[in-house]
Amino acid sequence: MLYNLIEILVFLVLILLSVAYLTVAERKTLAYMQRRLGPNVVGYYGQLMPIADALKLLLKEIILVRESDKLLIIISPIIALCFALLSWSVIPLSPGIAIGDINYSILFLLVIGSLGVFGTLLVGWSSNSKFTLLASIRSTAQLISYELILTTNIIICIFLNNTLNINHFIDNQQSVWLFLPLIPIAICNYIASLAETSRPPFDNVEAESELVSGHMTELSASPFVLFYLTEYNNIIVMCFINVILFFGGYIFDILPINYIISLFNINNFYYIYYIEYLLYVLNISIKVIILVYGFIWVRASFPRLRYDLLVNLCWVILLPLLFGIILIIPNILYIFDSFDLYT
């Protein structure tokens, strides 16, 4: 029991460190794209910048609005971060390496992603501020709208895989990634991931030019840090989900694992196990890093969408397209007698 608890704590610390250093990667990348230096003073090439930012914000005084619901303002960021971290409990980094391997892990991710919205809603409602309230209303419309796209994409993938288990999704892509037959759906899912994490050009939840800072306007110090960590954690989680659904997950696609191990002439079982684990983790990490860089590239390249255009993109363009595809896929499976796999 103690060993499992330590294992989970180490895993969560590594996740939070990766989230922290994603902020440095984003700031450096945006600076290079805009011909600036970016963080380069604190630590070697600014590598200690997230630690300095965290210490600065955690040591500040928490200032709350006088007429606000102070308990809800403190609890809301904790709710958002807890649900964001719960998503990692079913994401595998290697065969058999996950905190929990449940048969309905895809359904679990959908439920956790939906419940995480409550943190943003509660902090907007309880702040007694028109800016945060408007941001909460926006977030409700935006996140619910684009959750429909994510759910529809996942239903299409479930049709083709006949399972709700993430590991089975990955195993079924050993011969071909689902990205190849489902290119339009993969692109729609990536766009919906941008909107679901409230990233530019879909950052109407924050919209600092219109709403100061959206739902975080009245927050300072540690509550602000928790929302900040939640946003970047959701980016990594969404990229992991995209990799698992469409890009083969942790499956090593370039060279066979056994061939690589034979090159080292290793016979010890434990060494072979750890090398396999590292190669699987390295493989899925490279895929996730490429998709995360796409998030940063989109932020540097595109202006923010007007709010009505954001909603129209979902309800008028993407959703009808996906509903058409979800009607076509069962017909294709029926034509090729693929429904025999479901019996």
3-state secondary structure 132-146: HHHHHHHHHHHHHHH
- Which pLDDT band, with edges at 50, 70 and 90, does 76 fall under? confident
Whole-prediction pTM: 0.89
Q: What is the largest CA-CA distance in the chain?
A: 69
User: Given 27, 44, 59, which residue is the final one in a domain?
Assistant: 59
One domain, residues 304 and 157? yes
Task: Determine the structural domain holding residue 25 and report its residue range.
Answer: 1-59
Q: How far is the C-alpha of 20 from the C-alpha of 30, rounded, in Å? A: 16
Residues 232 and 90 in one domain: yes
* Tally of domains within the chain: 2
278 and 306 part of one domain: yes
Given 59, 83, 98, which residue is the final one in a domain? 59
Q: What angle do CA 262, 264, 267 make, to 5 degrees?
A: 70
Domain boundary among 20, 39, 59: 59
Classify residue 119 as exposed, middle or buried by CB count within 10 Å of its CB (0-12, 13-18, 19+).
buried
Q: What is the pLDDT of residues 13-71, one digit of tens each?
A: 888 888 888 988 898 898 988 888 888 888 788 888 888 888 888 888 887 777 777 88
Quick check: helix, strand or coil at residue 97?
Answer: strand
The verdict on 334 and 287 lying in the same domain is yes
Q: Say what percent of the chain tops pLDDT 70.
A: 89
Residues 28 and 148 occupy one common structural domain = no
Asked whether residue 109 falls in the same domain as residue 47, the answer is no
Distance set, CA 292 to CA 53, 189, 297 (Å): 21, 14, 9
User: 27 and 42: one domain?
Assistant: yes
The reported pLDDT for the residue numbered 343 is: 47
Q: What is the pLDDT of residue 263?
A: 61
**Confidence band (pLDDT; 50, 70, 90) for 254?**
low
Residue 100 has pLDDT above 50, yes or no: yes
Q: Is the same domain home to 10 and 147?
A: no
Q: What is the pLDDT of residue 289?
A: 92
263 and 132 within one domain: yes
Residues 21 and 103 in one domain: no
d(CA 191, CA 310): 11
What is the predicted pLDDT for the residue at 257? 58
Question: Residue 181, preceding bond cis, omega within 30 degrees?
Answer: no
User: Within this chain, do residues 130 and 278 fall inside the same structural domain, yes or no?
Assistant: yes
pLDDT for res 57: 82
Cα separation of 212 and 216, whole Å?
A: 9
The whole-angstrom separation of Cα 238 and Cα 61 is 33
Same domain, 55 and 103: no
